[in-house]
Amino acid sequence: MAFSEGRDPLEHTSLYQRAESEDSDAEGGLGNVNKLIMRPPGHSGKAKKGHICFDATFETGNLGRVDLISEFEYDLFIRPDTCGPRLRLWFNFTVDNVKADQRVIFNIVNISKSENLFRHGMTPLVKSSTRPKWQRIPREQVFYYKSAQHQNHYVLSFSFAFDREDDVYQFTLTYPYSYTRYLGHLDNLCSRLSCTKRETLAESMQKRNVELVTITSDLEDTERPRKVVVVLARVHPGESPSSFVCQGLMDFLVSAHPIAQILREYVIFKIIPMLNPDGVFLGNYRSTAMGLDLNRSWNNISTWIHPTLHATRSLLQILDKDAQTPLDCVLDLHAHSNATGVFVYGNTYDDVYRYERHTVLPKLLAQHAEGYELLNTQYNQDHNKAGTARRYLCSTLKDQVNCYSIEVSMYGYKRKGISDVLPYTEEGYYRLGRNLARVFLEYYKLTGLIPLGLPDQPSNRRTRQSRQRHRLPREPRPRTVRTPATLHLASIYEYFQEEAEPLPSARYRSMSGTRMGQQPGTGIASETGTGVGGCRSRSYRFRSPGAPLERVQALTKRPAAEPRLTIIDFNQLTKGGLDLATSKNKPTVLRRNIKSRRCVAIVSSRSCEENIFSKL
């Protein structure tokens, strides 16, 4: 399709007559869409289910225009940064008034940065009002390609199926982190903890506060020699992952972990979590409310145009002149839109020793941060980056101050041996902030600030203080009630005494522990476990295998067997059955050597039979 010269590259044709967003600003679509309902051509009156409603008039929202292409397809236009029409990458909008099982195709047609992570498999995020957890749209439904209908500009297209009519769906580039959330986190962090101090550093052009948070063990102790670390974040509004990393670092530093306690004793942390609150609130990608990139303005700071940078530079200069608590390190947290993993941008110096000392902290970060990309780490003196924080501050502050830009991917990271990219989650960014605190511990151990041998891991042993001081009294356990079992009908027999058989010659036990002897008159060895006449030898329990048994005196009386219980069912008793039952259950006399050789017969079996039949 041929295009005439001078034609707007964002203008395109469609099967339908183009339905533009009526609520957008007339000047290049600088405003966000406000409850825009997309009706099909020729339809008038009240909107029906399925006439999608787009909205971006909320904090961090960005969607400038919507065009209806066909019944199921929509072209979306990102609103450029305020006063910066060339910057278009961040988008964040909601969709409602959908119909169940309605399928649509969204085309984001005016992305200004063609080299981005969508080429590496990144997909937009989506959530709904009933499912508030962010999820990535599957790769099979996302396409990033050159569009011939838009003069070969890159277009991001993704298909989506709405499954719940009452839900409000939200689509965004990466996890949003708003100005309101930032203030709420600081309220929770600094209101209850004594190791934190919060103060307003400056006000933005639109009168939003830029807060400074100080974290250390004793805020009033100014005599102890300690070093200062300054952390800057969110200088670019669209790089929201840097806010998650900064929050993870702050949450860890105020915790009760041994590493956090050690760091608070020897280091003072000065943290500015959001340098560009106006751009964050407006939903810009890189600019302030006046269209300025703060990370290109450090070498040309104006008190009126850059109030946040001016206040930050004044703070750094004061800290740099303090001899008691000197400034040691400055970190500038960013999120990268074209690289995976986490890496560092540093500086290079003519002094070899200064350069080697400058590379220590990135090497420690490579050991502790999961997904560290060593190939993306750079040390340079690029003149095009002269206005960045790391390039400007390293030339104005003292030589011992190290300045870095720490970059984390908007998408994900790679593990060793795995080619696929693992997407970051909010918890993954928090974990990176916690690992950054561990890097500081190892760094200051190497430099000698923190002594070696301090416990840096929580103890697994339970101390007295961790136990419950006031134990609740326990109720005594109820005693077990024991009742004798009921006996129905028993026949107790009288045991007769007989003379014991003569004891044979000495017998031996086999090596397996069983006794072997000859049976009388047979010459065959027996493997019984009892002695002669069923009586065990007295030394049976105390004799080793294979030892000969001593002779046992012959018993003069047969021992009495223990009583046995016999239950007779008279309903099934026939003639002669009682004699049969009593003879069948008559106990066999056991020849045992027991301590008590007397047995008293209570009732004889014959008398028991007579009593039974007399009752019948």
Strand, helix or coil for residue 420: coil
Element (H, E) at 94: strand 92-96
**Ranges of residues in the chain whose predicted pLDDT is under 70:** 1-30, 222, 459-474, 477, 479-616
Residue 60 CA to residue 291 CA, distance in Å, equals 16
pLDDT digits (tens, 9 = 90+) for 424-459: 999 999 999 999 999 999 999 999 999 988 887 776
Are 559 and 593 a contacting pair, CB within 8 Å?
yes
pLDDT of residue 134: 97
What are the residues whose beta carbons fall under 8 Å from the beta carbon of 45, sequence distance 6 or more? none
pLDDT of residue 426: 97
Bridge-based pairing state of the strands 402-409 and 342-347 = antiparallel
Phi and psi (nearest 5°) for 46? -70, 140
pLDDT of residue 560: 57
Residue 508 CA to residue 397 CA, distance in Å, equals 99
Residue 586 CA to residue 390 CA, distance in Å, equals 105
CA dist list (Å): 312 to 59, 83, 276: 25, 24, 12
Q: Which of 211, 373, 407, 442 is catalytic?
A: 407
CATH 3.30.750.24 fits 179-447, yes or no: no
pLDDT digits (tens, 9 = 90+) for 8-56: 434 443 333 334 444 443 333 358 999 999 998 888 788 899 999 999 9
Query: Residue 115 catalytic?
Result: no
Q: Can you list the positions of beta strands (E) in 89-190?
A: 92-96, 102-108, 125-128, 135-136, 142-147, 153-162, 169-172
pLDDT digits (tens, 9 = 90+) for 52-83: 999 999 999 999 999 999 889 999 999 999 99
User: What does DSSP assign to residue 29?
Assistant: T
| pTM of the complete model beyond 0.75 | no
Q: Kindly report the number of other CB atoms within 10 A of residue 238's CB atom.
A: 27
First to last CA, the chain: 119
pLDDT of residue 586: 55
- Nearest residue to 23 (alpha-carbon basis) of 34, 15, 12: 34
- Nearest residue to 410 (alpha-carbon basis) of 240, 263, 591: 240
pLDDT of residue 468: 54
Domain parsing of the chain, residue ranges: 36-172, 179-447
Q: Kindly report the number of other CB atoms within 10 A of residue 441's CB atom.
A: 21
- Which CATH fold would you assign to the domain 36-172? Immunoglobulin-like (2.60.40)
